[in-house]
A = this chain, B = another copy of it.
Amino acid sequence: MTDTFTRADGRATNEMRPVTITRGFTTNPAGSVLVEFGRTRVMCTASIEQRVPRFKKDSGEGWLTAEYSMLPSATHERMPRESMRGKVKGRTHEISRLIGRSLRAAIDLGQLGENTIAIDCDVLQADGGTRTASITGAYVALADAVTELKRRGVLAGEPLLPPVAAVSVGVIDGHVCLDLPYEEDSRAEVDLNVVMTESGSFVEVQGTGEHGTFDRAQLNAMLDSAAAGCAELIAAQKKALAG
Contact = CB atoms under 8 A, between A and B. Distances in A.
Interface of A: 26-29, 32, 39, 41, 43, 45, 47, 49, 67, 69, 71-76, 78, 81-94, 96-97, 101, 105, 118, 120, 122, 124-126, 192, 197, 199-210, 213-216, 219, 223
A39 B28 CA distance: 10
Contact of A71 (B43, B87, B125, B202): B43
A201 B223 contact: no
B90 A87 contact: no
A27 B39 contact: yes
Contact of A201 (B75, B202, B214): B214
Contacts of A41: 26
Contacts of A76: 28
Q: Which 10 A-B pairs have the closest CB atoms?
A: A90-B93, A201-B213, A82-B83, A45-B73, A47-B78, A83-B83, A205-B207, A29-B73, A26-B125, A94-B94
B72 A120 contact: yes
B120 A71 contact: yes
Contact of A26 (B29, B96, B97, B124): B124
B90 A120 contact: no
A223 B202 CA distance: 14
B78 A88 contact: no
Nearest to A75: B28
A90 B96 contact: yes
